C-alpha cells in the first residue's frame, strides 16, 4: 500500500489507515489524519524533510518518518 511520503507534488489522496498504536499514531489522528480524509501534497522543505500537506482547510507539515505511517489511496488527478 502507498503511504503519504510516496505522493508527488500536487497529488491528492484519501487516508486509509494510520499504522501503530503508540503516541505518534495518536498525535497524527489528533491532527486530523483520520480514515477517509482527503489530503494534498503542497511541497517539500529544501532538504526534502519535512513535507507540507493540506487537509481540512489547513496546512500540516510532517517528517518523512511520520508520513510513512499513513497509508493512502491515491485519488484521480483533476
Residue boundaries of the structural domains of the chain:
4-74
CATH code, 4-74:
2.30.30.90
Query: In this predicted structure, what is the pLDDT of residue 78?
Result: 67
Query: In this predicted structure, what is the pLDDT of residue 4?
Result: 93
Query: Is residue 8 very low, low, confident or very high in pLDDT (cuts 50, 70, 90)?
Result: very high
Identify the residue with better confidence: 1 or 74.
74
Residue with cell 489522528: 29
Residues 23-78 have pLDDT tens digits of 999 999 999 999 999 999 999 999 888 999 999 999 999 999 999 999 999 998 76
Query: In this predicted structure, what is the pLDDT of residue 66?
Result: 94
Amino acid at each position: 500500500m502507498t503511504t503519504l511520503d510516496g505522493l508527488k507534488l500536487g497529488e491528492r489522496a484519501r487516508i486509509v489507515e494510520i499504522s501503530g498504536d503508540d503516541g505518534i499514531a495518536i498525535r497524527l489522528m489528533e491532527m486530523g489524519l483520520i480514515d477517509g480524509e482527503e489530503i494534498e501534497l503542497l511541497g517539500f522543505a529544501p532538504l526534502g524533510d519535512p513535507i507540507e500537506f493540506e487537509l481540512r482547510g489547513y496546512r500540516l507539515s510532517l517528517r518523512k518518518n511520520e508520513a510513512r505511517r499513513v497509508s493512502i489511496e491515491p485519488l484521480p488527478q483533476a
